[in-house]
Structure formats: structure tokens, C-alpha cells
């Protein structure tokens, strides 16, 4: 059963099979343990050789399938021996199995808005219970291991994007270590980086603020149903993850060609009267004309300032949530 479960991990998860507390070892000595539904720990045979504590999360939004399929491929490579002798402790988190099975972004609430303790305010939410659980596993994983702490939260966007692949860097406080991850972005040809000025309730931001992890939210492309991700360059992402499993953090090489953006403000839906004046096919990072009436929410209006671009427009969010982000280009 040691390799069999890993080879069929995704079908078993989507079928709701219960393998919690199962453990095993691969021929190269790599140990694995199913800690919870969709939560899998991998440890090298020689744990003292682990150079990185690597948390890889996907499926935080259940309909963002490309990262889910990619991490399943990584597991199959480990189980088959195509990738062997990892030099990293790895925690794989398939974030929202219920939403994955339903083919929905979430069931009750957006899971990626409930970290950092915000889940305590959503007592009847399945995602709130899941956020609390994932916080506990992240804490246990980082605090029990040694080495560089790294969290990559893998997503795909609802809309197409002017820059098809991009990364989001959570607020780093007084530790400007994001430059050490530029080589990682270069390795997968990600040329766009959004810098968040304030901590948020996302999973990656939680791991930065609570555990000092280096973290990025990575957008691999546009969201599609399972089995429809052939056009996305997943092989290059998979090659990057294989390098990370070997404890290799890719170095940056000159010249660096990174488009950097910063958040200027968020557009929050505060009532049922909210209207977003954007067509459904407007892509992420589209520049908007200064003075444009972007949104109306009762008497409140959002007017675009010079140089602002739109990111993650979604008028269908619940009241109180973010319906879009306005960002501006900044110098390197």
C-alpha cells in the first residue's frame, strides 16, 4: 500500500476515501503519513539532510484544478521512483477537498480569506473549520522541522490575465527577503510580481506572519475544470518543484526582468446594491483610464486614479468581501 495510495492520491481524495493516519515508506526510504484529509507529510530517509521545510498548498479554491493535478503528478513521480531521495521535508496540502469534489470555488466561505484567526468569526462555515485545521498543521510542520521555511500556495485565476503567470508576495514586515525568491520566479518564467503592503487573511500571509516563512502565492494561469489544463505550462512548474524537493532554491541570474506592482486599494462590496462596471472579459492587470467609475455601492463610488490597473474583479462575492484590487506599477 505504500506506493499505491500515492499513485492514486487524487482519485482517492475526490472519491472521499478515508486514509487518515495511514503511513508508509518508499523504496528510497522516504517516509509518508496522511495527517488528515488532503494533508500529506513527506520526510526524507535521512531527516538531518533536510535543507528546506517546504509547504506546498493547492485547491484552497476547489475549482482551481491545475495546481491540484500538478501536485498529484509530483506524488506519482515520487511513488514510481522517477523522483527519488528528496532533501526536503514536505507538507502537501490539498486545501478544500469538499469544494474540489463539488467543482466549486468554496462551499460556504472563501477559504483564503479565513486564515490568521479570522475563521473564529464564521462558526457555521465548513471553510472556517478547515482554515483552523490547516493553521494547526502548518504550525506543527514548521515548528518541528529545521532548515529554510518556504510556502508556495498554488492557484489559478478566475479571469484571463494580461500577464498569464504572476506571483503575489505577502507583506514581509521588516524582513525584505523576497529578493531571494526571484530566482524561483525566473525558473518558471514568471515576470510579474504583486507586492502586498499589509498582512492579510490569506494562507501565504499567515505563514509569513506566524512562522517567518518565505512565501508566495503563485498564479499558474486561468482556472479550468479537471482534465482541461493541457495548455498550461505545468511541466516547467513541476521541474521547479523537483528542484525544491532536492533542496535547491534556484538562484537569480541577470538581467532581472520583473514587472512589479503594488496594491493601492481594495474594492470591498458593502451591500447588495454593489455594481462593478466592468465586462466579464476584462483581464487581470488591465490598465483603467483615470476618472473611470469602476464601482458603485449605494452612495459610495470608486473612481479610478491615474496609473491604476484592475486585478481579481469579481462582483459576485459576498457582502463584506473584496470585489477587486487596484494596483499600480512601481520601479524595481
Q: What are the residue numbers of the active site?
A: 219
Q: Quick one: cell of 198?
A: 499589509
CA angle 324, 325, 331 (to 5 degrees): 160
Q: Quick one: cell of 26?
A: 518508499
CA 237 to mean position of chain CA atoms: 13
- Neighbouring CB atoms inside 10 A of 23's CB total 13
CA angle 49, 56, 64 (to 5 degrees): 160
Closest CA to 37 of 100, 118, 102, 90: 100
- Neighbouring CB atoms inside 10 A of 313's CB total 25
**In Å, what is the CA distance from 75 to each residue of 23, 54, 79, 310?**
15, 14, 6, 36
Alpha carbons 284 and 88: distance in angstroms, whole number: 34
Question: What stretch of H or E contains 266?
Answer: strand 259-268
Pairing state of beta strands 214-222 and 293-297?
unpaired
Pairing state of beta strands 293-297 and 300-303?
antiparallel
Q: Residue 148 in contact with residue 52, Cβ under 8 Å?
A: yes
- Neighbouring CB atoms inside 10 A of 329's CB total 14
Q: Residue 197 in contact with residue 132, Cβ under 8 Å?
A: no
173 torsion bin: left (phi>0), alpha (psi -120 to 50), beta (else): left
Q: Residue 250 in contact with residue 240, Cβ under 8 Å?
A: yes
Amino acid at each position: 500500500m505504500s506506493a499505491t495510495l500515492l499513485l492514486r492520491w487524487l482519485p482517492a481524495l475526490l472519491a472521499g476515501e478515508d486514509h487518515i493516519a495511514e503511513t508508509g515508506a518508499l523504496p528510497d526510504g522516504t517516509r509518508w503519513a496522511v495527517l488528515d484529509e488532503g494533508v500529506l507529510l513527506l520526510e526524507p530517509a535521512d531527516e538531518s539532510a533536510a535543507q528546506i521545510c517546504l509547504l506546498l498548498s493547492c485547491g484552497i479554491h476547489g475549482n482551481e484544478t491545475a495546481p491540484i493535478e500538478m501536485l498529484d503528478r509530483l506524488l506519482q513521480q515520487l511513488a514510481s521512483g522517477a523522483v527519488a531521495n528528496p532533501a526536503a521535508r514536505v507538507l502537501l496540502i490539498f486545501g478544500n477537498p469538499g469544494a474540489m469534489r463539488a467543482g466549486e470555488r468554496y462551499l460556504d466561505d472563501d477559504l483564503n480569506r479565513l486564515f490568521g484567526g479570522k475563521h473564529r468569526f464564521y462558526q457555521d462555515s465548513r471553510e472556517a473549520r478547515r482554515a483552523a485545521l490547516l493553521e494547526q498543521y502548518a504550525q506543527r510542520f514548521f515548528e518541528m522541522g529545521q532548515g529554510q521555511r518556504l510556502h508556495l500556495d498554488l492557484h489559478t485565476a478566475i479571469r484571463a490575465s494580461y500577464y498569464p503567470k504572476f506571483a503575489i508576495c505577502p507583506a514581509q514586515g521588516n524582513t525584505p527577503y523576497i529578493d531571494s525568491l526571484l530566482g524561483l520566479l525566473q525558473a518558471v518564467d514568471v515576470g510579474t510580481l504583486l507586492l502586498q503592503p499589509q498582512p492579510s487573511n490569506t494562507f501565504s500571509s499567515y505563514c509569513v506572519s506566524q512562522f517567518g516563512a518565505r512565501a508566495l502565492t503563485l498564479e499558474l494561469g486561468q482556472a479550468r475544470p479537471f482534465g482541461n489544463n493541457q495548455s498550461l505550462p505545468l511541466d516547467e512548474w513541476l521541474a521547479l518543484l523537483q528542484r525544491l524537493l532536492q533542496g535547491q532554491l534556484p538562484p537569480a541570474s541577470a538581467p532581472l526582468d520583473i514587472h512589479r506592482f503594488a496594491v493601492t486599494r481594495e474594492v470591498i462590496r458593502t451591500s447588495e446594491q454593489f455594481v462593478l462596471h466592468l465586462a466579464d472579459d476584462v483581464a487581470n492587470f488591465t490598465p483603467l483610464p483615470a476618472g473611470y467609475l469602476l464601482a458603485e455601492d449605494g452612495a459610495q463610488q470608486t473612481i479610478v486614479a491615474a496609473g491604476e490597473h484592475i486585478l481579481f474583479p469579481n462582483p459576485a462575492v459576498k457582502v463584506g468581501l473584496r470585489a477587486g484590487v487596484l494596483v499600480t506599477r512601481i520601479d524595481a
